[in-house]
Amino acid sequence: MTPHDFIQSVTSDAPKRAKKWRSLSKQELNQILIETPPVWKGSSKLFRNLREKGLISYTEYLFLLCILTKPHAGFKIAFNMFDTDGNEMVDKKEFLVLQEIFRKKNEKRERKGDEEKRIMLRLQLYGYHTSTNSRADDISSLLSDTTLLVHFFGKKGKAELNFDDFYRFMDNLQTEVLEIEFLSYSNGMNTISEEDFAHILLRYTNVENTSSYLENVRCRIPEEKGITFDEFRSFFQFLNNLEDFAIAMQMYNFANRSIGQDEFKRAVYVATGLKLSAHLVNTVFKIFDVDRDDQLSYKEFIGIMKDRLNRGFRGYKTVQRYTTFKACVKKELYSR
């Protein structure tokens, strides 16, 4: 698949147009990869700039999904395991092993259900050609270069990758996907509505009755203030550290203490070091506090958000868009 296909697969319900598998000659592949920028020229628009001029393997697809849904600390540990001389650098061969470890971890988890079939079907929607044995693709990816490998290790594959550059790549990729999601709802404005924020959160979950959550937002936040991109980004950075936050929440439960907004903010900061704005936390409570007792239970929040972290590993249902009068006015003003 191409960089554009990857972005589409994690930000949209289905491709905008049918994708057909095509075979590339070695010369055509080299011509595509020659336009790959070096890692020090990376940005939060890397995949959008490359569009169809790139190649991503199945193993890399799973690896990139990990970057979108896992805390950076795990990558730091894995990186250091291969950094035998302590210079915080890994070569191409070491990186391929590291990438394979994350792939196996994901595939082991997905085999517990039907998720492996779903991810392959989803990939095929975006023009990714899969054989009956996904291992064949893994082997081929070791024999030929891909966009990521050229980006990290140069066209000759002799460069080494340091963790600072890799960390910047992870941060840029997360930012790029979040920007695309945010802009798809903001209509050129600096904020998205609280209801749109709820739509984005619920779109990757298995929640059946989303209408009750959306009704919570409409009734309990009558004056739309909006969610900024900085608030939006900080919340999803927090979600990538959800397991640590879940432990903090359990501490409150063991102490028989309820989880109000102040406790929620403190638990987020202790577990992740992130400070969420008061308005963002209030919005989250208004969305997920279904029984309206101004407290969040494990079931009301953690259970739903853990399911959301499966993004990209399966399709998600389409959530109905409720267009408000204010949203229409904003869109009309921007179009003039």
User: Using an 8 Å Cβ cutoff, are 130 and 120 in contact?
Assistant: yes
User: Using an 8 Å Cβ cutoff, are 268 and 198 in contact?
Assistant: no
263, two tokens? 């406790």
Residues across the chain: 336
| Bridge partner list, 90 | 161
The pLDDT, as a whole number, for residue 133 is 45
Nearest CA-CA partner of 308 in 244, 250, 253, 238: 238
The pLDDT, as a whole number, for residue 256 is 62
User: Using an 8 Å Cβ cutoff, are 79 and 204 in contact?
Assistant: no
Task: Break the chain into its structural domains and give their ranges.
Answer: 3-175, 187-335
Nearest CA-CA partner of 237 in 271, 197, 285, 204: 271
The 10s digit of each residue's pLDDT in 104-151 is: 766 655 555 555 555 554 555 555 554 444 444 443 444 468 999 999
165-168, Cβ contacts within 8 angstroms, sequence gap of 24 or more: 165/39, 165/40, 165/42, 166/39, 166/75, 166/79, 167/72, 167/75, 167/76, 168/42
Sequential DSSP letters for 28-55: HHHHHHTTPPPGGG--TTHHHHHTTS--
Residues with Cβ < 8 Å from 87, sequence gap 6 or more? 162
Q: How far apart are CA 135 and CA 203, in angstroms?
A: 31
Place of tokens 């203490």: 257
The tens place of each residue's pLDDT in the chain, 336 residues long, gives 899 999 988 887 665 666 666 677 788 888 888 889 999 999 999 999 999 899 998 889 888 988 888 777 778 887 877 776 777 788 898 888 888 877 776 665 555 555 555 555 455 555 555 444 444 444 344 446 899 999 999 988 899 999 899 999 999 999 999 999 999 999 889 999 999 999 888 876 777 778 888 888 888 887 889 999 999 999 988 888 888 888 877 777 676 666 889 988 988 888 888 899 999 999 999 888 877 888 887 777 777 777 665 554 444 444 444 444 444 444 444 444
Q: How far apart are CA 295 and CA 288, in angstroms?
A: 9
| Bridge partner list, 192 | 227
The pLDDT, as a whole number, for residue 106 is 61
The pLDDT, as a whole number, for residue 105 is 65
239, two tokens? 């979600």
Beta strand residue intervals within the chain, DSSP E: 89-90, 161-162, 191-192, 227-228
Q: How far apart are CA 27 and CA 38, in angstroms?
A: 20
Nearest CA-CA partner of 187 in 307, 42, 329, 31: 329
Residues with Cβ < 8 Å from 43, sequence gap 6 or more? 49, 172
Sequential DSSP letters for 177-220: HHHHHHHHHHTTSSEE-HHHHHHHHHTTS--S-HHHHHHHHHHH
Report angle CA 86, 170, 37 to the nearest 5 degrees. Answer: 95
User: Using an 8 Å Cβ cutoff, are 163 and 87 in contact?
Assistant: no
76, two tokens? 């730091």
The pLDDT, as a whole number, for residue 173 is 95
User: Using an 8 Å Cβ cutoff, are 187 and 330 in contact?
Assistant: yes
Helix (H, G, I), strand (E, B) or coil at 240: coil
User: Using an 8 Å Cβ cutoff, are 116 and 107 in contact?
Assistant: yes
Q: How far apart are CA 249 and CA 11, in angstroms?
A: 30
| Bridge partner list, 227 | 192
Residue 124 φ then ψ, to 5°: -65, -30
